[in-house]
Amino acid sequence: MRLRPWPDKTPEWTAFEAGYLVTSNGDWRSVRPVIDKERCVECGLCYLHCPDGTISRDLLVDYDFCKGCGICAKICKREAISMRREADYA
Amino acid sequence: MAVKNLDEREFFFGHKACAGCGGSLAVRIALKVLGERTVAVLPAGCMSAVGFNFPQLCFANNAFITPFAATASVMTGLEAGLRRRGEKDFIVAGFAGDGGTADIGLQALSGAMDRGDNILYICYDNEAYMNTGIQKSGLTPPGAKTSTTPHRGSRRPKKDMPAIVAANGVSYAASASVGYLDDYIKKLEKAKSVVGVKYIHVLAPCPTGWGLGSDETVEIAKEAVDVGVWELKEYENGRWTVNRKPTRPQDLERHIDRQGRFRIQSQYQEDSRNGQR
Ligand SMILES: Cc1ncc(C[n+]2csc(CCOP(=O)(O)OP(=O)(O)O)c2C)c(N)n1
Ligand code: SF4
Ligand code: SF4
Ligand code: SF4
Ligand SMILES: [Mg+2]
């Protein structure tokens, strides 16, 4: 999850506050991971392996920044994560 | 399991790496282990290109871009400057690609190793110059297709970077893989506690340059170790220790064949078996 809230001012120079995010990545996705809490055993492997850090330790997916790569679904030994068509959520 | 003790905060977040990028996983995990008093140093390459897009700043700790050749020199300067200012408990960590490390940045790294500076240099190895369009580097393996290799793929061996670094007498060196994060995290923790030059070389597959699905990079990075093309090892007190033996060398051919960058090569081998070349 992001560490800072959406900023309300633009930086004046190229050295400025770390973690300053103005655009999201969620619209890159064509499929989205959905976690089935019934099957999940909270091992944390999906959280650990996500290249974008978009699954939190308490297993909430940040759909503003998840790119839908599918690594989390593949690493899950319980098959608790399914990749669903993004079009169905539009 | 490493999950429990890891910092929950994300220090590399919101970056523009391709979906499934192994390099970004290597950087993300390293910063979670090294913590917020880390100064990240990144030369030209994918991780700086995806991390700094003004005004989007994806590092939540201090981070710098360096000229392509200068990673280790900038690290030396930052470490000395922070020390001079009286700062304590900080880590200067570099994240350079394979091209930035084994080719253009090698001289700067050589200088830092010679001086024995107190830095942690991490090479995320995606086996080509990815940020500029998949050109061959000194760490591209034989047979891999790039945009600058002949039709049948690279004909040069992969430079043995860990051996080069160890030959310079560094304090700590290790190879790792994003397919074995437990092992990578252990090595980062060890490197954090050692004084002098620390070098970690982490295999970080690139779906875009390797011809893989975005969900396959972690699996491929693990498989590379299992079939024996990438070794997990550690150099301490003048000696190498292998951390893991290949468990399924029989799957080597399948491992190669599933990567798009080797497909011309396997087609070539098949043709020569059939007497067509
Ligand atoms: C002196 C100089 N030469 C060339 C470049 C262009 N350039 C920028 S990134 C890059 C490729 C970096 O490859 P690598 O170090 O393997 O990192 P990757 O992009 O694969 O992550 C190149 C050639 C540059 N920025 N500076
Ligand atoms: S990998 Fe699967 S079982 Fe483990 S925490 Fe994630 S969803 Fe749950
Ligand atoms: S699909 Fe990829 S980016 Fe999205 S949560 Fe899973 S691992 Fe992370
Ligand atoms: S080209 Fe490869 S290394 Fe670069 S951001 Fe994309 S996946 Fe990562
Ligand atoms: Mg590279």
pLDDT value of residue B246? 97
Q: Which CATH superfamily is domain B3-273 in?
A: Thiamin diphosphate (ThDP)-binding fold, Pyr/PP domains (3.40.50.970)
* Banded model confidence at residue A19, pLDDT cuts 50, 70, 90: confident
* Banded model confidence at residue B271, pLDDT cuts 50, 70, 90: low
pLDDT value of residue A20? 86
With a 6 Å cutoff on the Cβ, whether B143 touches ligand 4 is no
Give the A:B interface size as CB pairs under 8 Å.
109
Does A86 reach chain B within 8 Å, measured CB to CB?
no
* Banded model confidence at residue A61, pLDDT cuts 50, 70, 90: very high
pLDDT value of residue B268? 59
pLDDT value at B211 more than 90: yes
- pLDDT tens for residues B89-117? 999 999 999 999 999 999 999 999 999 99
- pLDDT tens for residues B18-32? 999 999 999 999 999
Please list all protein residues whose beta carbon sits less than 5 angstroms from ligand 5, which is an ion: B 97-98, 126, 130
Per CB-CB distance under 8 Å, the chain A contacts of B219 are 74
Q: Where are the domains of chain B?
A: 3-273
How far away is chain B from the Cα of A86, in angstroms, using its nearest Cα? 15
pLDDT value of residue A14? 67
pLDDT value of residue B269? 66
- How high does pLDDT run on average in chain B? 95
3-state secondary structure string across chain B: CCCCCCCCCCCECCCCCCCCCHHHHHHHHHHHHHCCCEEEEEECCHHHHHHEECCEECECCEEEEECCCCHHHHHHHHHHHHHHCCCCCCEEEEEEEHHHHHHCCHHHHHHHHHHCCCEEEEEEECCCECCCCCECCCCCCCCCCCCCCCCCCCCCCCCCHHHHHHHCCCCEEEEEECCCHHHHHHHHHHHHHCCCEEEEEEECCCHHHHCCCCCCHHHHHHHHHHHCCCCCEEEECCEEEECCCCCCHHHHHHHHHCCHHHHHHHHHHHHHHCCCC
pLDDT value of residue B27? 98
- Ligand 4 centroid vs B113 CA: distance in angstroms? 28
ipTM above 0.90, yes or no: yes
CATH number of A29-89: 3.30.70.20
- The region of weakest confidence among B52-66, B78-92, B127-141, B258-272 is B258-272
pLDDT value at B13 more than 60: yes
